[in-house]
Amino acid sequence: MRALLIASSAGILCAGCLEPSPSTDEQTSSASQGLVCRLFCDSNFLRTSTSVGSSSPSCDESTAGLNNYLEDYATNDCADVACGPDVHILNACFQVGDSGSIQINGYATYRCGRINC
């Protein structure tokens, strides 16, 4: 049975949780039923995305596109819970030929996590 997880500024809330988790947590929050969910990050295995580029009319848009893509990549690779990711820039913004497009290249490192309730 999967629990409903709600991210908030106070942490992660869990509805439908059956029992509390062990106390070695990174983030903790109590649900309305008094149950606790915790985010655990696997510190043993650092993962790395593929190197990718993002192009758009401006450096800001290209950077935002790269960051969004790498966050989605990590989230999908980790089955919805990625700790991080940390974006590493390989090539800062540069113009692509005469096209007027600005490109940035990079990759992400991250760890997968799990939420126990």
The pLDDT tens digits of the residues spanning 23-77 come to 333 444 444 556 778 878 887 889 999 999 999 999 999 999 999 999 999 999 9
What is the rounded average pLDDT for all residues in the chain?
Answer: 76
Tokens 């969004």 correspond to 68
User: Quick one: 95 and 63 in the same domain?
Assistant: yes
User: Quick one: 66 and 110 in the same domain?
Assistant: yes
Tokens 């985010």 correspond to 39
Q: Are strands 27-30 and 36-41 parallel, antiparallel or unpaired?
A: antiparallel
**Predicted model pTM:** 0.65
Instruction: For the beta carbon of residue 20, count every other beta carbon within 10 angstroms.
Output: 16
Range of the domain at 23: 4-41
User: Quick one: 20 and 60 in the same domain?
Assistant: no
User: Quick one: 63 and 34 in the same domain?
Assistant: no
User: Quick one: 51 and 69 in the same domain?
Assistant: yes
User: Quick one: 89 and 71 in the same domain?
Assistant: yes
User: Quick one: 79 and 93 in the same domain?
Assistant: yes
User: Quick one: 36 and 52 in the same domain?
Assistant: no
The pLDDT tens digits of the residues spanning 97-116 come to 888 899 999 999 999 988 77
User: Quick one: 26 and 71 in the same domain?
Assistant: no
Per the structure, the count of domains in the chain is 2
User: Quick one: 32 and 68 in the same domain?
Assistant: no
User: Quick one: 71 and 56 in the same domain?
Assistant: yes
